[in-house]
Homo-oligomer: A and B are copies of this chain.
């Protein structure tokens, strides 16, 4: 195979683009995909301080390197979930990368930040732990963004993640999630802007990227993600992509272009949603009084006061 740019021999192929790249031009390809998506969706303004959530996995570690190389002012934040050896390894990977590359990093323990452990929180909700972890970390990162004076929160969600989420939302017609699914969620009262700069890169491209540039990552999946429905949807979408190349990209970006305009049509409901904020912390919520996190915290504290602390 030859690099489609410089014609030098290479073994880095990207079937989705029907292309192969040498190391230099693969790097260029990846940076271009990210830089174009940032520009198209007006994700980052000049002088913005970007809080990047880094887990230690291929996507966020890759995003860290990419955004830094693109010259953005990135502050990486790692939240240790307290999942034993897996979390310890993850924290280590993140710390070593920051040190070696002399990059700013803040590390927190989930339990110290939230006031309770993820395992304990799970006993008080029917949400699967993956989804619970996502909700709680989004909440904590938003609070940290204010404390650390950041203008925008970036996460490592890639095209495969967005497609799997979209497929699940479509199969269950989760209209609330469909309305909010977008590569950028603009800032509003109490909420920092949220962006997904890897929206045009796949799992495969990100794996290839971190491997090619020797970025250390935690190879194993989070032990709590086993059997997650998103894996099942990813399998369906990967099979579809093999059968009909370009399917994933069309599914996600077609959704943004073609369906999205219809979902913004009912302004009334949107307006109603905008008006509700948590009475405790001010976070935007669809609930009547307290947001999901404050309500959860209250349940956990009530349990502690009544003496049942078996969940700790």
Interface residues of A (CB under 8 A from B): 170-173, 175, 232, 236, 239-240, 243, 247, 250-251, 254-255, 257-259, 261-263, 265-266
Quickly give the copy total for this chain: 2
Interface residues of chain A: helix, strand, loop or mixed (majority): helix
Residues of B contacting A175 with CB < 8 Å? 258-259, 262
Assembled-state Cα–Cα distance A172/B259 (Å): 11
Residues of B contacting A262 with CB < 8 Å? 175, 262-263, 265-266
Assembled-state Cα–Cα distance A251/B262 (Å): 19
Specify the chain B residue showing the minimal Cβ separation from A178.
Answer: B259
Residues of B contacting A258 with CB < 8 Å? 173, 175
* Closest beta carbon of chain B to A167's beta carbon, Å: 9
Assembled-state Cα–Cα distance A258/B170 (Å): 10
Residues of B contacting A236 with CB < 8 Å? 236, 239-240
Residues of B contacting A259 with CB < 8 Å? 173, 175
> Do A240 and B171 have beta carbons less than 8 Å apart?
yes
* Closest beta carbon of chain B to A236's beta carbon, Å: 6
Residues of B contacting A232 with CB < 8 Å? 243
Specify the chain B residue showing the minimal Cβ separation from A255.
Answer: B173
Given contacts A171-B250, A262-B263, 14 further A-B contacts (CB under 8 A): A170-B170, A171-B240, A172-B250, A172-B251, A172-B254, A173-B251, A173-B254, A173-B255, A173-B258, A175-B258, A175-B262, A262-B262, A262-B266, A265-B265
5 contacts between A and B (CB under 8 A): A171-B251, A172-B250, A173-B257, A175-B259, A236-B236
Residues of B contacting A239 with CB < 8 Å? 236
Residues of B contacting A254 with CB < 8 Å? 172-173
* Closest beta carbon of chain B to A73's beta carbon, Å: 36
Residues of B contacting A173 with CB < 8 Å? 250-251, 254-255, 257-259
Assembled-state Cα–Cα distance A258/B251 (Å): 19
